[in-house]
Structure 1
Amino acid sequence: MKTLGIILIVAGIAMLLFRGINFTTEKKVVDLGPVEINKKEKKSVNWPLYAGAIVTIAGVAITIGASRK
């Protein structure tokens, strides 16, 4: 359980520092034999600031709870 707590702490701090993830997907629009037309779409996943704080606090609570046993 202590390992899970440490992982949550690290993930929560990363969520506080990086407010979202941006990535690009490629979608095939037309495929006519040797001719292909692809479309690139930019997408992003954003999370609120309080989500990172909640994950960090949960990690600290799990770590403290595991060390008291």
Structure 2
Amino acid sequence: MNTQGIGIVLIVIGVIMVAYNSFNFKTTEKVVDIGPIEISKEVDHPMAWSPILGIGLAIGGVVLLVAGKKK
């Protein structure tokens, strides 16, 4: 993949990371398992990152696009 393609991918990922700076996913964990009785609960796992990281990726993508056009 050339530098322009990587630059475009980085810009897209950076914009998405700025727009959506967190997401949640749920897992099911078993709490009690006594013979035929089984109790489970859903556990929420938040994933968050700084929007600065997305801005940095977008800027890096722009740099790669400019560097690829100079060649």
Is the counterpart of residue 27 in structure 1 residue 24 in structure 2? Answer: no
1:10 is matched with which residue?
12
Q: Which consecutive unaligned segments of at least 5 residues does structure 2 have?
A: none
1:19-62 alpha-carbon deviations (Å, 9 max, x no partner): 11111111233445554332210111111121111010011111
Q: Which runs of 5 or more structure 1 residues have no equivalent in the other structure?
A: none
CA distance in 1, matches of 2:66, 2:25: 36
CA separation in 2, counterparts of 1:67 and 1:24? 44
TM-score, scaled relative to structure 1: 0.82
Q: How many residues align?
A: 69
Q: How does 1:24-63 map to 2 (within 5 A)?
A: 24-32=26-34, 34-63=36-65
Deviates more, 1:30-39 or 1:7-16: 30-39
CA RMSD after TM alignment: 1.5
Aligned-pair identity in percent equals 36
